[in-house]
Structure formats: structure tokens, C-alpha cells
Amino acid sequence: MTTLRCLRYPGTFTGFLCACAEVLNHAISGEALPELFPTGETAELFAETETVEDNLQRAEGVWKRLAARAGREAMQQIHAAFLSDDPGIGAVLARVLIRLWRGGGGLLTDPRDPGLVRVSKAAMRTRREAHAMLGLIRLAELADGTWYAGIRPDCDILPLVADHFMARFPGMAWILHDHRRSTAVLHAPGKGWTTVRGFTVACAGRDGLPLSAGEQTIRNAWRVYHQAVAIQERRNPRLQSGHMPRKYWEYLQEMAVIPEEDSTRANHGDTEVSV
């Protein structure tokens, strides 16, 4: 009886690449492929489990070798798919990477392989949300001069939007905080950005932050302006939610001016329900 081998890896992309290096080694030698499980997920019962360490240098080497075989564009799609909210996508990606290693990046367009189709859809979902969030992230100036924005996306989009904000605000110290995953991207002028895990902020609700005097003045002015120009007879909460789903409202400052009665309505995609 063959013992099932499982590789447990940290939930980071670099940790995943290190685990994929082990899978590729098994594939090249003709051995049975191990199953991949990120830290926190339960492996198969009675399986022989091994933990793979997160090693940045090894991950960079794996990325370069795979990019040389499959192409940079294919690897970027693998990365976007990994960041999606698709459960179990890591195991699918490992097998896709084996195919790319053997056949090149052109295989990603093969519609006959369910795994490749799943990867394509997962990558598209991540990229679409990242693109949408570029227009929904609101930086607020805190009392210490740092600029902060909280978000709660479905996919792990911070690695895809960080370069955009660094290019737009190179001279500012800012933080993009993903509350769903307790991760954050921190940027310091002249030092690039870094990812921090286990990140928390006390009183990080929409109005609970220690705001600067200038930020508070701007918010007050916005509320006055909104109330002055709003045409109550033309309010359409359902249409508004269709263009900007309710799940993104929590950290949008302009949504703080929505009347009390609208706060009892929730929107999930195109479906509106009462709560």
C-alpha cells in the first residue's frame, strides 16, 4: 500500500512556490506527486505530512526557472489565480505548473483541461476585483501624517495594487490594510513597499481612526456638499448598489452620508436582500 504524502506550506505565494519545487522534483523523477495543503487546512487522514519552509531565495529561483519555460505572462496568471478566493486552488496550480514545465505557457489557453480553465477563471476574478478596487480604495490622513485605507476584498488583491499606489504616491507614507486576511502593505518614501501579516489597527472602522484635523475638515465638507446637492426624489439605492456593490461600502467615506433607512439593505452582486 502506497502512503499518501502531503506537503504543508505557508499560505504565501513564496511558500507555495517552494512547495511546487518539491512537486516538480517528484514529477521529474517519476515519483507519485504529493498533495499540497496550506497551513491551516487539514491534510488527508493517515497521510505522511511534511512542512515546507517559506524561503524567498528558493521561491525566486523557482519563479525564474518556470518563467523561462512557461513565460512571464503565464506565471503572472498563476500568481493571480493563487491570490483568488477559489478554495483548493493551490493543488490545481501545482499540477498546472507541471504541465507548463513540460509543455510551455501556450497550454494555458487549452480549453479542454478543466484545471487550466479553473486557473484562468480564478485569475480573471482576482484581476477584475483588483481593477475595481483601484477606484474604491480611499486613503485617509491619520493624526501622525500616515495615510491609511482599509478594505475587505474577496480576493487577496494587495500584491496587485501596491505598485499602482507606490507610483501614484511615492512621497507619502501609506498603509493598505486587508481586514479579511489581517495583512497590510506598508510604504515608506524611497523604500518601496512591504507586506505585513497579522496586521491590526485599533478602532479601524470607518469613523474610528485617529484622523488628522485636515482629514476631518474634508470629511465634514463632503457631508455638507452631498446633503446640499442630493436630489432625494431621485435616490435609487438598488441602482447605486448595482454599480458599487454593498460589500465594498464599509470603508468608503462617501457612503457615510447614506440615510439611515438605506443601512438596512444589503447587496450581494446583483441580488438585493433585506436584513
Query: CB of 255 within 8 A of CB of 247?
Result: no
**What pLDDT does 88 receive?**
87
- Helix, coil or strand: residue 207: coil
Q: How many CB atoms lie within 10 A of CB 131?
A: 13
pLDDT at 265: 40
| CA nearest neighbour of 94 among 22, 5, 31 | 22
Mapped onto helix, strand or coil, the DSSP state of residue 23 is: helix
d(CA 275, CA 262): 11
Check if the beta carbon of residue 20 is closer than 8 Å to that of residue 59. Answer: no
Angle at the Cα of 232 from the Cα atoms of 265 and 268, rounded to 5 degrees: 20
At residue 3, the pLDDT reads 57
pLDDT at 105: 73
Ordered mean pLDDT values, 10 residues apiece, the chain (275 residues): 71 92 85 73 63 92 92 94 94 89 77 89 97 93 94 96 96 96 95 93 67 91 84 82 82 66 40 29
For residues 209-219, one letter each, b for 16 or more C-beta atoms within 10 angstroms of the residue's C-beta and e for the rest, the string is: bebbeebeeeb
